Amino acid sequence: DAKTTQPNSMESNEEEPVHLPCNHSTISGTDYIHWYRQLPSQGPEYVIHGLTSNVNNRMASLAIAEDRKSSTLILHRATLRDAAVYYCILRDRAGTASKLTFGTGTRLQVTL
Amino acid sequence: EAGVAQSPRYKIIEKRQSVAFWCNPISGHATLYWYQQILGQGPKLLIQFQNNGVVDDSQLPKDRFSAERLKGVDSTLKIQPAKLEDSAVYLCASSFRWVGTDTQYFGPGTRLTVL
């Protein structure tokens, strides 16, 4: 799986938007960009994924650069419950080896 | 819909002892994964099952770790004998299929402390 690079930590104020960046300069044409997050003392949970176009769901938005070498997870209004480690992961849509290869992620702190 | 169940949630053992973890995936999910998460790191895949067959166990320390998935449903992960460096959270996950984009659903994990 191709490597991703994320900042170790970020801070946000509650009810403010948060933009979590991810660089993946060696992404291949068949790689999807997935985001998972891990709340304290819980297993990771799926957030969102995309291939080329920007994506929106009830949890977040995913903005993908035109050259696909970077992406940004957007939380429109951060709450205290969004404090977690966010992982950006590339997954080959053409492959059957569907494991998730986690890096160290970005630890998001949300303050009042 | 019930999520992925794991037990026990916590386990403390002495080094060289044995321990087993149990996982019940979401009903109907063909693929089951065991991950190890050491403090401060992201989870690392230990083994992946499709139904009751092993797909990937390349990072499983086979001299001490073993896993099985009987009848393609529940799974157990065993460590025998445990070492201090096995202290970690062991996460079980499942997905409906084994394609590269299927969402994985994780259980709460078992926190193992080896003294």
| Percent of chain B surpassing pLDDT 90 | 86
Q: What is the pLDDT of residues A57-67, one digit of tens each?
A: 999 999 999 99
Report how many helices (DSSP H) and strands (DSSP E) chain A contains, helices first. 0, 9
Task: Identify the band that residue B57 occupies on the pLDDT scale cut at 50, 70 and 90.
Answer: very high
Q: What percent helix, strand, coil does chain B show, rounded to 5?
A: 5, 50, 45
**Nearest-CA distance from A33 to chain B in Å?**
9
Q: Which of B41, B101, B106 is closest, CB to CB, to A43?
A: B106
A vs B, Cβ pairs < 8 A, gives 75
Per DSSP, the residues of A5-27 read B--SEEEEETTS-EEEEEE-TT-
Task: Identify the band that residue B97 occupies on the pLDDT scale cut at 50, 70 and 90.
Answer: confident
Chain A residues whose beta carbon lies within 8 Å of the beta carbon of residue B56: 97, 99
Q: Are B98 and A98 an interchain contact pair (Cβ–Cβ within 8 Å)? A: yes
Summarize the confidence of residues A64-76 as an average pLDDT: 97
Whether B74 contacts B92, CB under 8 Å: no
Task: Identify the band that residue B32 occupies on the pLDDT scale cut at 50, 70 and 90.
Answer: very high
> Exposed, middle or buried: residue A107 (CB in 10 Å: 0-12, 13-18, 19+)?
middle
* Residue B68: φ, ψ to 5°: -145, 155
d(CA B33, CA B10): 19
